[in-house]
Amino acid sequence: MAEASMASPDAQSPEPQPFRTQVLVRFADCDPAGIVFYPKFLVMFNNLVEDWCRDGLGFSFDEIVVQRGWGLPTVHLEVNFIAPSRLGEVLTASLYVRNIGTSSIGADISLSGPDSVDRVRGKVVLVLTDRSNHKSFPIPDDLRAKIARFLIPA
């Protein structure tokens, strides 16, 4: 589902909010037991990061990868599988920025079911790279400011 929302800070809500979007569990996501095959959750995580860049940061993967020649690879990933998800369910995917380093972004991701109970939780570290030499480089200040809107205080 392409619908995405970002709760952004305003005068009444000064604290940063997570990026959220909805994910439909499709037939192709499920195993013969009728539940999401666990590697499919990692695809959902990656799709969430791409949606966050496009809809939350206003910085699409087309601009990042094709136009600028950068990359934003996942360099570390931890996942806890809490409960099964089934065909036809609509999950709420949330991304919170945990920390912003010189060239890295630490984020917490969760997918919760229609009952609002987390099904999967993960921690991901993304690194901004130059695709021509596969080396990291500092996150530009304008992009850092956009990312910081999603930084949840520790």
For the chain, list the domains and their CATH numbers.
Answer: 18-148 (3.10.129.10)
Q: Is 105 in contact with 146 (CB distance < 8 Å)? A: no
Position 16 scores a pLDDT of 76
Torsional class of 116: left (φ above 0), alpha (ψ -120 to 50), beta (otherwise): left
Position 14 scores a pLDDT of 55
SS3 87: coil
Q: Is 67 in contact with 59 (CB distance < 8 Å)? A: no
Confidence of residue 24 (pLDDT cuts 50, 70, 90): very high
Position 13 scores a pLDDT of 47
Answer whether residue 25 shows pLDDT above 80. Answer: yes
Among the listed residues 49, 59, 43, the one whose alpha carbon sits nearest the alpha carbon of residue 109: 49
Task: Compute the half-sphere exposure of residue 139: CA atoms within 13 Å on the CB side of its CA.
Answer: 21
Both structure tokens of 104:
């890295």
Answer whether residue 31 shows pLDDT above 80. Answer: yes
Both structure tokens of 31:
């195993």
Condensed to tens digits (0 to 9), the pLDDT of residues 1-21 reads 444 444 444 444 457 789 999
Confidence of residue 32 (pLDDT cuts 50, 70, 90): very high
Condensed to tens digits (0 to 9), the pLDDT of residues 94-151 reads 999 999 999 999 999 999 999 999 999 999 999 999 999 999 999 999 999 999 999 9
Answer whether residue 71 shows pLDDT above 50. Answer: yes
SS3 108: strand
Q: DSSP H helical segments within 18-151, as ranges?
A: 38-51, 61, 141-148
Q: Residues 21-29: what's their mean pLDDT?
A: 97
Tokens 């910081």 sit on residue: 148
Main-chain dihedrals φ then ψ at residue 146, nearest 5 degrees:
-65, -40
Answer whether residue 63 shows pLDDT above 80. Answer: yes
Q: Residues 25-38: what's their mean pLDDT?
A: 96
